[in-house]
Amino acid sequence: MGSLIFLIILFGVFTIFNPVLSAILVIIALVTVPWIFHAIRKNDEKIVSAEVVDRTQIMREEYRHSGFSIGTRGGGRMYWRVKNVPSHVEVKLNVVYENGNHAQLTLTEGSGRYNRIMAQCEKRKEVPTKVTPVFDALPNASEKVDFVEVQTNQLVAGVYVIGEVIPEGNYDFRWIWGSGSLEKYVDHTTTLGASNLFAWVGNTKNYENRQLVNVVCKTGEHLHVSGNLIVEIRKSTPVKLEL
């Protein structure tokens, strides 16, 4: 807020000395600002998955009435104190775009852009209309097709409860076969806001991941594997630093 007031005052002073140039700057701002917001929105529409990696509670100072006293001469005095109160929550998102690029965004939880991206990723969890077939058309009915055998520490389509089926911890997931999605929810619900991980997994599309590293899995969370996907799960290797 302080920065905005400073800019308004600075612009007012600048207008007094050079009103023509100030008018030109206003016109440029009226043209470029909507274009910038439009470009950001169009770029956000290319996001196919978003994972919450950090949430930070931001505080602000607030003056609150703390008391009132009357002096010996009859005069009154009110007392105020500064208290830190919650302002908003900053959320860091790891996002994946349609072309496979990764990026990290820091947004305010509950903001219009945050809600739009999360809702968009929820909708993209639907099975794509163009799906790569598991088997090619058979030339004749007698041709034999081998079944895929699921090995130890490999997950197929289903729901896995952290703390019951899978112990709590940090895990790496590696694509083995098929295609689908890997999702994680803070509890058994599937409503908007409960999801803290979504990623397409496969090896045919540019937006599909072949590996997810260091996924934090907490007791009570629900891990969903969908599609005809098979992924391997293993404990993440702790980071070792020699500084």
The backbone region for 42, taken as left when phi is positive above 0, alpha when psi lies in -120 to 50, beta otherwise, is alpha
Residue 70, in any domain of the structure: no
> Order of strands, edge to edge, in the sheet holding 76-97?
47-70, 76-97, 102-108
Residue 111, in any domain of the structure: no
- Alpha helix positions (H), the chain: 2-17, 19-44, 112-123
pLDDT of 196: 85
Residue 188, in any domain of the structure: yes
Residue 186, in any domain of the structure: yes
In the predicted model, is pLDDT for residue 225 greater than 90? yes
Residue 78, in any domain of the structure: no
Q: Alpha-carbon distance 36 to 21, whole Å?
A: 22
Domain extent, residue 164, equals 152-237
- pTM equals 0.46
Residue 71, C-beta contacts closer than 8 angstroms, at least 6 positions apart? 77
Residue 214, in any domain of the structure: yes
* Cβ(179)–Cβ(228) below 8 Å: yes
In the predicted model, is pLDDT for residue 130 greater than 50? no
Higher local confidence (pLDDT), 98 or 124: 98
Q: How many domains does the chain have?
A: 1
Residue 202, in any domain of the structure: yes
Instruction: Note the pLDDT tens digit of each residue in 150-201.
Output: 899 999 999 999 999 999 999 999 999 999 999 888 887 665 667 888 889 9
* Cβ(54)–Cβ(106) below 8 Å: no
Which of 111, 110, 93 lies closest to 102 in space, CA to CA? Answer: 93
Residue 184, in any domain of the structure: yes
